[in-house]
Structure 1
């Protein structure tokens, strides 16, 4: 009579429900209890750069035309080629061209190669826009890079086999990103930056945020292989990303986390969606997941302890049926109340502030 697993059976679902509810109040939608439990065991966080550590709203900083090419020719070709692109850099170029009053010609064909660039037909010309590797693959003669784009990216444009020049496009790092990375480190979590951007861009952003493991110029399949390698090392990996390029890696990770501003494909592939596009919410949700898992283990250990003690006392005649029933009911109530601590309350789940991250990291 005194033995039973009711504390676990009733307390565990309540703890998971409370953890998911509290995470939702913080601005993170967890798509199931198993994902919350996995998030509580995460020891490695892999971060994308564009749209995750940065706002994903880059702006054209400078036009760098080749000799014999004007700024307008370079901008017109790049904007027309990028008109149907969904990449943040492409949208930035189109937005800049419109702000300059340029007429953007509709391309007659459009082909996108992830992690490289695009090929379009504009009128009678073939226009290529993308990174240095994309130009090299298409036989475009490239000069040695002598431009310092700092934490920005160089987007090259070519027409009919001739390089027109490049556009310097830079993004802004999210203000809460550094605090979030620092909080992850305090939790003992390893951080890795994987991006398709140039090495100097990744190094500048990663260095500013305190991320030591940085890999750049990666294709989507390269990111996928890196995630698979980490999982094969028995690491519990959370992948945080926002783009179509991140979808395979998000699906392969132990738990995938998508930014709310990300693409539909990324959000569909992810197990957790951050509605507020705020990395601070991710750290807070991770802390909630760890606390949820801790409470579940408290209930498990407490139930086993009460059952073992009750059985021993009953075996030696120290318990009667009435007292055994009382111990059973009271212990179950204690475990349920322990799990109920996770249920969100209006006073404790108002908008969380970034400055609270250091305290949350101690949970």
Structure 2
């Protein structure tokens, strides 16, 4: 079957974009009508998708393997938790500070990437991920230490202008997470199509050739790590509002980093919607395997499913879906796209 070629910017292309947006809006509206537990699951999926999108910038698009993104996730969460509990800040107002602090941490973590790469860089990020829970325990007066930090429901109440009450904070966070995910996807799309995005991909594919072509590797690596940390920190801030209870041994250990990496490669690295698909897989697959068996057998089945997906779909679920859709519709660049004045 000969695929239909659609040029970017054409009426047909805009029609496909509008149809996609309408389908996404319909899915979100449908999700908002579900029972509270299901709404909470979908909120968790969107938060995970944002976090994986941050990891995707560094690992997927730039080739900087990071095993320590749980530290960015945790820093964003604890920034919101401390600001709300200790200083009485409104939850939404803590997001900019969480994003800023995680961007700074990402920039600092990215500095070793100027000298090392590959597995050696992964070990550096691994050290950051391991150190974060210990730092949280050390500052017990601020973070609650090993006992954790609890954010009361009334402190997470929706803003008064929404007309929502404390028991309705789940639906409020659902829409906030949806808006944050949409903004994140748009920013990632625009970034990867910009000059910096081209430099990121060139750095991933061949650093020597990229440097010879004029790419400033130091600037690209540190900038990307900063942006990656900021996006993952945004997810951490939303996660603190979602769970309302933070513990260094709960959601911010290396297991969280492994979940993020698993979601990235299951969904599809260096793809726009791969993090969304990967988030669905990471959140829902354990539920499905638990229905098939219980105890350790459930974990074995979950591992087997992961191995099967990676073996059969090395480019990720989103990559396979994109290749399948490419048999029917192919988006071709505009004739003048890429021309320089």
* TM-score bracket relative to the smaller structure: under 0.3
Q: Which has the higher strand share?
A: 1
- The structure having more radius of gyration, on CA atoms, is 1
Tell me the TM-score normalized by structure 1: 0.23
